[in-house]
Structure 1
Amino acid sequence: MNNINHILVFDPITYAGGSKVATREMMDLINRKKHHITILTANPSSWLLRNVEMINMSHPKWLPISEHGKGYWLRQLYFCFWLIYTRIFYGKINMAVGASGPGIDMPLYLMKGLLGYQITQLIHGPVGLSRSIGLCLCKAQHVFYLKSAYPSLIAAIKQVWRKKPETVQEENAQHLLRTHHFEAFVNGISEKNLPSPCQYETPSLFWAASLLKWKGLDLLLEVINSTPESNRVPVRVCYLLPENNALPTTKAPQDIKSIEWHHQPAQLDRLRSQSNIFISTSHQEPFGLSILEALIAGMCVIIPSDGAFWDLVLTHNKNCLKYKPNDISSLQQQINKATSNIQLIKTIGKAGANLSQGYRSEQCYLNIKLAIEKRSLSALSLDEVKQ
């Protein structure tokens, strides 16, 4: 038992989301014979993993949800007590995994000196601009980030030396990135969790995300409301309602003809397979795991041409359709283009599915797996790599 490496995943967010799905895929790759995993979470239903210890971390309604100031630090102090609780009742922690970003995972850094673990930080989106976040990034043993988060990482790290000249800030930040383990990654989905293929019989729209305003559901609703009822195709909206969250959200469900509303459906894969056109309305989506799932399912993906990850990877009229960001008429035009031609849906969907084969978690998350297990690729034998 002494040879077992104890890995703690810290998750104080009370609702599900793409970043948790990605982290779950990463943790599922960890060798359970040599590593014991404990999930300290405020949302246990997000972590359907085999052979893990689950700690349901309560998130009382009186706990402040502010993103800064005294309320923010009070919340971090509350979660620090949960880390102490975990250490006392579940044993020494060797590796702590920050599943969200240093601003959310701050308690891991506050307790690092006392509890003596290493930190692998996962960053699924831009980080906040603050000196405390910059200091956290300096203390983590490994930082894995989506490429879209890179500018915010540099900006936060430079805050550590904010009283120094700009040239010194830049030089120190670049030195840190060269000498510490910072590495970009892309998300993937494992072979066993691949989405079911969609249908190619009748056009049907599909939207899936949280109700946070930046996810852009309002844009899709405006498009549907501006479409005559006789011209509408079926629309399935699958949504998550963020709890204990200070950010603005969209109201749902709404009484709009042709829309089926599904709140955090357990049968998400089945609902997606019954559609064939995926609509992304997010503003500058850092990655878009739901887009990857739609591509794998063979759906015709419609995305904004906003310079975000999938806009740079996908090609209009080849493996996706693109519209001008936040433009109702442009999105309407692309939806009409797809819904009026089932063969186009199939052609673009098949091309997208072919491209998606390069995004399997077994390859995408290999370096993260190795870092969490505290081993380097060079230290592994060929047999271990194959396993």
Structure 2
Amino acid sequence: MNTSNHILVLDPITYTGGSKIATREMLDLLNRKNNKITVLTANPRSWLLRSVNIIKMSHPNWLPISEYGKSYWFRQLYFCLWLLYIRLFYGKIDVAVGASGPGIDMPIYMMKWFFGYQITQLIHGPVGLSRSIGLCLCHAEHVFYLQSAYPSLLAALKQVWRKEIASVQIEKQEQLLATHHFEPFVNGISEKNRPTPCQYQSPQLFWAASLLKWKGLDLLLDTIEATNLELRAPTTICYLIPENNALPTTQAPRHIEGITWHHQPENLDTLRSEANIFVSTSHQEPFGLSILEALMAGMCVVIPSDGAFWDLILTHNKNCLKYKPNDMSSLQHQLSIANGNLNLITQLGQSGAHLSQGYQAEKCYLPIKLAMEKRSITSLALNEVKQ
């Protein structure tokens, strides 16, 4: 088998999330005949892919989890040793993929000059404000980012030229961001991974995310507890517990009548199909892959009107229901509307499913696929003409 292009994906995060699911979709599109894929990960169960080397990277408890200072750099050096291991035992690396953001994927930048690979950086949320992150953005061959991360990219790049006068800073930022080096993207789901359609027999709520505080589970739990028992719809909550993480989390599960809890279930798709009202409580969700999955499943999606991605795409009472951000009474009102109207659930769900057809992974991720394969749109077009 001709494996001329070795792609390494670095994943030091110890729990599953939307960014990993999106990256997994991207990798699944790659041509296996010409590309060897190695995933170096602290969480192997996130990467169930065909014809891929999955290398488990230990993440010992003594390893610091600070996001800055000496302990941060110590952790990065530890992961650099793992990159050295891959190079020694799995061969030359042609493309290194940062699956999270420069602050997390720093080791691939630290080792770039030793190994000589190209870097394709994926950015699924805001990046940190630091000069080192700005320098990483300058040295990656390709940076693909969700549009919501754009202001943070500008801020990080500004740190690189912070000694320059303001007009020069802006000029250099604009010049860099105007190149093919930076390209926005939206997430998609492939046809083979399309969620199972939901049921429309009786109202049932569904929530799925990690227990990170900014995912907002507390808001949903408080709303359900404040609702009379006879007015509550059955609720399914699927959750992930973030490990080796410095960010605040919600304590769960909690015993609340009417709620069924599932910790990182293997049958997530089945559980989602048994419900029909998807509730998002995240604060300024950069994209919300779980929302896209719910739309594709034909669920009635309930989201905050917070100016985030899906708030700008979806329309209240047309293909979703919206509530005031962090407002328990507003969320309770929208849930009561959905709970009491199965026809509305069906109507909004089917309208959302129709809209979701524009988010196919094969189209959304084509530029990223080509960057990983070290090809261009031009070369793809030439190959199609020859064929």
Q: TM-score, normalised by structure 1?
A: 0.98
Please give the per-residue CA displacement for 1:68-110, whole angstroms capped at 9, x wherever unaligned. Answer: 0111000000000000000000000000000000000000000
Q: In the aligned structure 2, how far is the partner of 1:97 from the partner of 1:359?
A: 22
The answer for the alignment partner of 1:152 in structure 2 is: 152
Deviation of 1:3 after TM superposition, in Å, equals 5.6
- Supply the distance in 1 between the matched residues of 2:273 and 2:386 (Cα, whole angstroms): 32
Unaligned 5+ segments in structure 1 are none
Q: Which residue of 2 aligns with 1:330?
A: 330
User: How big is the shift at 1:179?
Assistant: 3.4
Equivalent in the alignment of 1:68: 68
Retained in 1: the 8 A contact 2:238–2:261? Answer: yes
- Bigger drift between 177-186 and 242-251 goes to 177-186
Q: Which residue number corresponds to residue 363 of structure 1?
A: 363
Letter in 1 for 2:310: W
Distance 1:2 1:116, change over 3 A: farther
Q: What is the identity, as a one-letter code, of the residue corresponding to 1:319? A: N
* Cα deviations by residue, 1:26-75 (Å, 9 ceiling, x for unpaired): 00000000000000000000001000111100000000001101110000
1:45 and 1:3, CA in 2 relative to 1: closer, same or farther beyond 3 A?
Answer: closer
What is the CA distance between 1:167 and its match in structure 2? 1.6
CA distance in 1, matches of 2:375, 2:115: 21
Q: C-alpha displacement at 1:214, in angstroms?
A: 0.2
Following the alignment from structure 1 to structure 2, what is the Cα–Cα distance between the partners of residues 269 and 33? 30
Q: 1:384 to 1:21 in 2, by over 3 A?
A: farther
Cα gap change, 1:267 to 1:120, in 2 (>3 Å): same
Supply the distance in 1 between the matched residues of 2:158 and 2:180 (Cα, whole angstroms). Answer: 15
Cα deviation 1:304-361 (Å, max 9, x = unaligned): 0000000000000000000000000000000000000000000000000000000010
Task: Describe how 1:282-301 pairs up with structure 2 within 5 A.
Answer: 282-301=282-301
Which residue of structure 1 lines up, in the alignment, with residue 303 of structure 2? Answer: 303
1:277 maps to amino acid:
I
Q: Distance in 2 between matches of 1:325 and 1:318?
A: 19
- Match of 1:58? 58
The verdict on how the C-alpha distance between 1:232 and 1:379 changes in structure 2, with shifts beyond 3 A counting, is: same
User: Matched residues, percent identical?
Assistant: 73
What is residue 8 of structure 1 aligned with on the other side? 8
The alpha carbon displacement at 1:232 in A equals 1.1
Q: Which amino acid aligns with 1:329?
A: S
The one-letter amino acid of 1:115's match is: F
**Counterpart Cα distance in 2 of 1:335 and 1:88:** 55
Cα contact 1:120–1:372 (8 A) shared by 2: yes
Give the whole-Å Cα distance in 2 for the aligned partners of 1:248 and 1:110.
29
Q: Is the 8 A contact 2:134 2:160 kept in 1?
A: yes
**1:166 CA drift (Å):** 1.7
- Name the count of aligned residue pairs: 387
Q: Which amino acid aligns with 2:351?
A: A
Query: 1:128 & 1:198 partners in 2: Cα distance?
Result: 38
TM-score normalised according to structure 2 size? 0.98
2:334 and 2:54 map into 1 onto residues whose CA distance is 44
- Give the alignment of 1:1-387 within 5 angstroms: 4-381=4-381, 384=384
- Cα distance between partner residues in 2 of 1:129 and 1:44: 30
Distance 1:18 1:254 in 2: 24
Aligned Cα RMSD in Å?
A: 1.3
Task: Name the aligned partner's letter for residue 334 of structure 1.
Answer: Q
**Which whole-Å CA distance do the structure 1 matches of 2:228 and 2:81 have between them?**
55
Tell me how far apart the structure 1 counterparts of residues 152 and 329 of structure 2 sit (CA, whole Å). 32
1:184/1:239 Cα in 2 relative to 1: closer, same or farther (>3 Å)? same
CA contact (8 A) 2:2 2:34 kept: no
Distance in 2 between residues matched to 1:216 and 1:297, nearest whole Å:
22
